[in-house]
Amino acid sequence: MPSAALLVLASAGSTFSARQSAYLRHATTAPLDPSSIIGVIAHLECARRAPSCVTANVTVQRDAWDGVLGGPVGAFQLLYALNALYAYEGDAAVEPGLWAAVREAALGFKYWSSDPPVDALAPETWYWSENKVLAHRTDELLAGQRFANATFSVTGRNGTWHAQRARRELLEWLDFRARFGFTEWHTDVYYQVDVIALLSLVEWSEDAALATRAAMVLDIVLIDIALHLHAGNFAATHGRSYAKDKPSAPLQDTFGLSKLLFDDTDEPYGNGTDEGATILARAQSYRMPELVRRIAARDAPMVSRQRMNLNLTEQPDPDPAVPPPPAPFGLDFEDEANLPFWWSYASQALWMMTPLLVRVAERDGLWDTLLADARVAFDLVRVEGDVEQTVANARRLQAVLWPMMDAALLNEVNTCAYRTRNFALSTAQDYRKGLRGAQTHPSQATLSGRAVVFTQHPAYAPALGDELPADFSWKRFDEPGPGYWTGNGAEPRAAQHENVALVIYAPQYPPLAPLGFPYLNETHAYFPQAHFDEVVRAGSNASWTFGRKGSAYVALFSLVPTTWRVGGPELFENGDLPFDLVAEGGASNVWITELGDAARWGSFARFRTAILSARVEATPLADQGADGMADGFDVLYGSPSVGEMRFGWHAPLVVNGSEVPLHDYPRYDNPYIRKDVVATLGGGGCGVDGRELCFAFRDADSEHFLTLDFGAVDRNASALWL
């Protein structure tokens, strides 16, 4: 809930209220499907906004949500249902029996893994990822305060107890995100979940301090999107992303909410109702700081760097008796109170987490759902009921298999983004090189909402043509990671400087298919010809592939010769044109991406000529880690725009003789982190205890600031978007 001191700005253009109504009109164009909770919210909210937003009369019967709430209930669906309950209970369009079903579902829900067992859980139940922790605890708080005196059947406790428990965990979750960022950094999937849950807290929490903290963290999520938005695309490296989200802006789960808030694309909203946009469209208490909207709309060239997460030592000591290093910030690896935080890093298979993992998994019966990629490996060492022996066995196995067992781990990341009017480039700098990566998306070039380019090292062969089911849709396809389009069999060593990214692939473990750790002997790039105005291949062995979208240009180099792999016509909405550029000559490769535009180069032909004349050298490196795997390459690239670049598997990034840092970035480093400007604009003191974030925006006709003081729980902005 915004501070009373905040000013409210009605922008000269479209207001937030007008954009909410516009989305609701779109979302209610099709007849209501009463079984969709989000659809019901959209129609009921649209009806409330008449005459500016008109929808047909609807009646929602008491059994409408039986298919969602009648069996094991998922955390996300319960969150939607609780939002509907808070907003519309008593609405004449809804039969009261429907709210009784929501109450029953809330009272019978298992809110945390340590609660007593239940007969069945929803298939998507997962207590440990960052977004699921937030969703479960938000569900628990909202249900607890709504049904304060009722008995919750799983625990036998009343709602007040549940609300108090959830509040403690939520305050910690919010504090850690403010301090350390998001484990699932820049995710085009789960930032939507975060937005919905945080909005729910802002709108419905009865604790004003908790609601304010939630609004402040929501501001941070939206700043992350605003810093990386280009033509509707959340054009960033992603901590977690799936095949269904990566190829274009409209397929990203964050697209609807970013279009509603920032409207920087002509792409229409998708068919049906969008969860994030719908919950935003009914928001009454939250208003986005005007500064965030201005950042998203700014076209001036910008470099933005961020650091998120804490650095964890992945390689275990070969001696099982050697203890792990001390946990940072005193967050003891074996203290169960810290479990939600550490497991939100997907650190379940990490060696320092093993004692806690085994103890809790044995006690709470979590082995069937907990370990994901590491499950096969843990099955080899588990001694049922014997925690000490299982831990000892696991430590010996981890000493050998750690490069692949920790595939889902989201370790400390330093991200770099460069955005101009015509393109964007974003990279996770030197992130987990050579190790298995479940769902990470290390680097992406973006020229439009649909003209995007990225490379990968696939773990599995792609599903093509007749192998796809008849009802196949990428929007519904959550390819398990690592797969072909999701994650990496082995993460590259990548580095970016402004508009150029150098990406080196060199797996540091052999493929072990019998243990569930295969990978392909190739790398590949997504390069969607259907979404470029021109695509040209040139150079020795066609080593360069060029694309033009409007006045934006991209050049992509592969050291290993490439060919187009032809897939089914429905793949990624590319029609009949190939989009998969495959380098089949080995899992080790060098890819170079350079972006340019007409403002810098004039014609596309001149850009190509400059790139083709650039010096490119790649020197193979022998194994230096005694793991039997070659260590990639040393690379020299004479970029025609930024100058000579040197980079290697072990070497730093050096541009024109000066080293470019790849690690230890600040929490934020961009043109809008300006303590000095904030003070002059009336934002008060800033950065006194390291728990404040201070943003300032200046252009020719406006000045805005936003300060988020998490210690004092003070959200202060020059203006909010009304």
Q: How far apart are the first and last CA of the chain?
A: 14
Q: Which of 207-221, 336-350, 461-475, 568-582 has the highest mean pLDDT?
A: 207-221
CA distance 298 to 69: 44
My answer on whether 182 and 291 are in the same domain is: yes
Least confident of 14-23, 142-151, 502-511, 638-647: 14-23
CA distance 97 to 94: 8
pLDDT of residue 477: 54
**293 in any annotated domain:** yes
My answer on whether 55 and 159 are in the same domain is: yes
My answer on whether 446 and 529 are in the same domain is: yes
Residue 314: both structure tokens together:
């992945």
CA distances 589 to 18, 562, 707, Å, are: 50, 11, 44
Helix (H, G, I), strand (E, B) or coil at 94: strand
Largest CA distance in the chain: 74
My answer on whether 176 and 55 are in the same domain is: yes
Q: Which domain holds residue 686?
A: 672-721
Is residue 9 within 8 A of residue 705, CB to CB? The reply is no
Q: Which residues contact 179 (CB under 8 A, 6 or more apart)?
A: 691, 710
Read off the pLDDT of residues 203-223 as tens digits, 9 standing for 90 and up.
Answer: 999 999 999 999 999 999 999
Is residue 296 within 8 A of residue 269, CB to CB? The reply is no
Q: Residue 408 class from Cβ within 10 Å (0-12 exposed, 13-18 middle, 19+ buried)? A: buried
Residue 210, number of CB atoms within 10 A of its CB: 20
Predicted TM-score (pTM) of this structure: 0.95
- State CA 541 to chain mean position distance: 36
What is the rounded average pLDDT of the residues 124-143?
Answer: 94
- What is the pLDDT confidence band of residue 376, given thresholds at 50, 70 and 90? low
Helix (H, G, I), strand (E, B) or coil at 386: coil
Helix (H, G, I), strand (E, B) or coil at 553: strand
DSSP string, 34-57: TT-HHHHHHHHHHHHTTTTS----
My answer on whether 605 and 676 are in the same domain is: no
Is residue 237 within 8 A of residue 426, CB to CB? The reply is yes
Q: Which residues contact 301 (CB under 8 A, 6 or more apart)?
A: 418, 419, 420
pLDDT of residue 277: 98
**655 in any annotated domain:** no
What is the rounded average pLDDT of the residues 483-510?
Answer: 97
Is residue 254 within 8 A of residue 234, CB to CB? The reply is yes
Q: Which of 367-376, 398-407, 449-458 has the highest mean pLDDT?
A: 449-458
**640 in any annotated domain:** no
Residues forming a β-bridge with 717: 706
My answer on whether 334 and 466 are in the same domain is: no
CA distance 369 to 367: 6
What is the rounded average pLDDT of the residues 612-637?
Answer: 95
CA distance 511 to 544: 29
Is residue 184 within 8 A of residue 241, CB to CB? The reply is no
**25 in any annotated domain:** yes
**662 in any annotated domain:** no
**309 in any annotated domain:** no
Residue 370, number of CB atoms within 10 A of its CB: 21
My answer on whether 200 and 332 are in the same domain is: no
β pairing state of 720-721 and 633-639: unpaired
CA distances 262 to 29, 49, 254, 457, Å, are: 22, 22, 12, 33
Is residue 211 within 8 A of residue 202, CB to CB? The reply is yes
Q: Given 347, 370, 405, which residue is the final one in a domain?
A: 405
Residue 266: both structure tokens together:
């002509």
Angle between helices 208-228 and 190-204 (to 10 degrees): 150
Residue 175: both structure tokens together:
């504090």
CA distance 492 to 647: 13
- State CA 200 to chain mean position distance: 19
Degrees to nearest 5, angle at CA 200 with 197 and 203:
155
User: Does pLDDT of 392 surpass 50?
Assistant: yes
DSSP secondary structure code for residue 493 in this structure = E
My answer on whether 395 and 419 are in the same domain is: no
Read off the pLDDT of residues 168-179 as tens digits, 9 standing for 90 and up.
Answer: 999 999 999 999
My answer on whether 400 and 429 are in the same domain is: no
Tokens 């008060």, residue located: 684
Number of separate domains in the chain: 4
Q: Given 597, 614, 631, which residue is the final one in a domain?
A: 614
Least confident of 129-138, 508-517, 668-677: 668-677
Residue 220: both structure tokens together:
């941070």
- What is the pLDDT confidence band of residue 313, given thresholds at 50, 70 and 90? very high
pLDDT of residue 6: 42
DSSP secondary structure code for residue 249 in this structure = G
- State CA 109 to chain mean position distance: 27
Tokens 């060492």, residue located: 381
Provide the total of helices (H) and of strands (E) in the chain, helices listed first. Answer: 19, 27
**342 in any annotated domain:** yes
Helix (H, G, I), strand (E, B) or coil at 409: coil
Q: Which residues contact 391 (CB under 8 A, 6 or more apart)?
A: 354, 355, 358
Q: Which residues contact 578 (CB under 8 A, 6 or more apart)?
A: 529, 564, 565, 566, 567
CA distance 188 to 171: 24
CA distance 525 to 562: 9
Q: Which residues contact 568 (CB under 8 A, 6 or more apart)?
A: 464, 465, 466, 468
Residue 486: both structure tokens together:
């999701």
CA distance 527 to 541: 18
Least confident of 249-253, 395-399, 429-433: 395-399
pLDDT of residue 371: 56
My answer on whether 445 and 550 are in the same domain is: yes
Is residue 442 within 8 A of residue 237, CB to CB? The reply is yes
- What is the pLDDT confidence band of residue 361, given thresholds at 50, 70 and 90? confident
Higher pLDDT, 131 or 53: 131
CA distance 606 to 600: 10
My answer on whether 593 and 511 are in the same domain is: yes
Tokens 């080293």, residue located: 659
What is the rounded average pLDDT of the residues 547-574?
Answer: 87
Read off the pLDDT of residues 24-65 as tens digits, 9 standing for 90 and up.
Answer: 999 998 889 999 999 999 999 999 887 666 666 778 999 999
Least confident of 89-103, 259-273, 366-380: 366-380
Residue type, 357: L
**307 in any annotated domain:** no
My answer on whether 426 and 462 are in the same domain is: yes
Q: Given 366, 381, 405, which residue is the final one in a domain?
A: 405
Q: Which residues contact 266 (CB under 8 A, 6 or more apart)?
A: none
